[in-house]
Amino acid sequence: METSTRSSRSAAITAELRDEILRGQYRQGERLPSERDLAERFGVHRGAVREALKRLEQLGIATVQPGGARVAPIEEASLDVVEHLLDLEDPPDPRMVDQVLEVLSGLFSLAARLCAERASDTQRSELLDLLERAKADLPRGERVALMHEIGDLCVEASNNLVLRLVRGGVKTNFIDRVDQNRPHLLEPLRPDPAHFEKFADAIHQRDGAAAADAVLELTKEIRRHAMEAIETERARPSLERMSS
């Protein structure tokens, strides 16, 4: 019971210090308060603080040394930090969202190229069926699920284990969170059927470069729409956002 309580207190300390670091309250290379000072601040034993500092180190945003903990360069942090950066503001910083979508665009483009070149006949046939369905004017939930299915199949057909692992991490840390917390970002989106037609032609011809280009065009449209949706939401008064 005591271990569980200390762990929960440690998690709360981690979250507060993490957000302070990510918001720039502590600069790169700056020493964090001592264990004793942090224990007094949060009203806990130093063991809980020590555990919290260790978690910050695991995130890659702090280094713990005999002389104390210091803030590490954000560029050296783990990928897990991305979800916390997105949660710092509500709505999230559009620049951060666009950077995430930019990476997802490149990831999906690579998967499409490898899929076009390496997919089995069965995978190719299944993907062509999905792309044909994607050209229709579908309800939002069905459309989003179909897009996920297309992405998952492309990654599977790439026969690249590292790509599959990266896709899994990104899906957990970002894609699923968007679906759950901000589904309206893709609410009125109706992708141009020509993108799916071009993608299907590339898959049929086993043309990896053309498949990558088709996906880049599609994801560019998705990025533009998401940015417009976030900017519109940020422009609304905070009280209106809270009541909606």
- Per-residue pLDDT tens digits of the chain, which is 244 residues long: 355 565 789 999 999 999 999 999 999 999 999 999 999 999 999 999 999 999 999 999 999 988 889 999 999 898 888 888 888 888 888 888 888 888 889 999 999 999 999 999 999 999 999 999 999 988 877 888 898 899 999 999 999 999 988 887 776 667 666 666 666 665 556 788 999 999 999 999 999 999 999 999 999 988 888 888 888 888 876 545 555 5
Q: Which residue has the tokens 């008064």?
A: 237
Spatial separation of the C-alpha atoms in residues 81 and 13, rounded to whole Å: 16
**CATH 2.60.260.20 is the classification of domain 81-243:** no
DSSP E strands in the chain: the ranges are 62-65, 68-71
**CATH 3.40.20.10 is the classification of domain 2-73:** no
Q: pTM for this structure? A: 0.79
Contact indicator for 77, 83 with CB cutoff of 8 Å: no
* Closest to 70 in 3D by CA, of 79, 80, 60, 78: 60
Q: At 6, list the tokens.
A: 């200390």
Total residues found in the chain within this entry: 244
Spatial separation of the C-alpha atoms in residues 232 and 234, rounded to whole Å: 6
DSSP E strands in 35-158: the ranges are 62-65, 68-71
Q: Where are the domains of the chain?
A: 2-73, 81-243
- C-alpha distances (whole Å) from 209 to each of 69, 156, 172, 213 are 47, 18, 28, 6
